Chains A and B, each alone.
Chain A
């Protein structure tokens, strides 16, 4: 096993443990912090797989922007620490069995597929090459995705405005 392989397994263990801790925490702030650790691990994996631009974006967008947004919302709302759902066996047994069957079949597919046994070779996509490729071949997709982001922005603004208008009318009615 090469040094890169050892790094991969260490990072994989850290990511899985941090994610597992994140989804079981009762306190939402702790969950978000563990998730940031997990995303840092993912960013390092991207770097290992030769995508330095994506590693930087993972830290900026995921660990930075999205998780900070979650933290803001958690601190804004009064969130009671909630437990996992009560596991009633009658409801969860069929779902669990079906999920385990799917996981087993997926693992079999991956194991038996000869194409997936190929060892990954180290390579790196320079950010410049990736940017040129993106804007030469997929510029239309970039435009579409930017429209999607604009629509999301307008949607979030509209939701906030709708509530503001509602509460203003209510307070005027009370007066």
Chain B
């Protein structure tokens, strides 16, 4: 007997909201990527708790896939960030306005 399932969902929801705030409110590309990581981690937490709640292994399998997605996303995202930084010399997304008139 650990805790009610809803408490785990609340924890995952709070973490997800923190990730959204980090992705939206920070003026820095790296912090936006970190916010996405926090959101993925919150989703994985909900999946693990669901696997325990229904005693099904599918939830844990999906967490493995979430890990792989996070790794792929972060490698491509950081490569893009480095590329953008070398072209513009800044990590502020508001300076990427070359296409603007």
Contact = CB atoms under 8 A, between A and B. Distances in A.
Contact of B64 (A54, A69, A76, A159): A54
Interface in A92-136: 95, 99, 103, 106-107, 110-111, 113, 115-123, 125, 129-130, 133-134
B76 interface: yes
A117 B70 contact: no
Contacts of A123: 52, 55
B3, B10, B27 — most chain A CB neighbours (10 Å): B3
The secondary structure that dominates the B interface is helix
Interface residues of B, number: 67
Interface residues of A, number: 84
Interface in B62-95: 63-65, 67-76, 78-83, 85-86, 91-92
Given A73-B81, A110-B6, A116-B5, A149 B72 contact: yes
B64 A57 contact: yes
Contacts, number: 226
Given A19-B38, A103-B13, A148-B68, A133 B1 contact: no
A153 interface: yes
Interface in A17-43: 19-20, 22-23, 28, 31-32, 35, 38-39, 42
A23 B38 contact: yes
Contacts of A120: 1-5, 8, 49, 52-53
Contacts of A5: 1-3
Contacts of B13: 103, 106-107, 110
Contacts of A163: 82-83, 86
Interface of B: 1-11, 13-15, 17-22, 24-28, 30-31, 33-35, 37-38, 41, 44-45, 48-49, 51-53, 55, 57, 60-61, 63-65, 67-76, 78-83, 85-86, 91-92
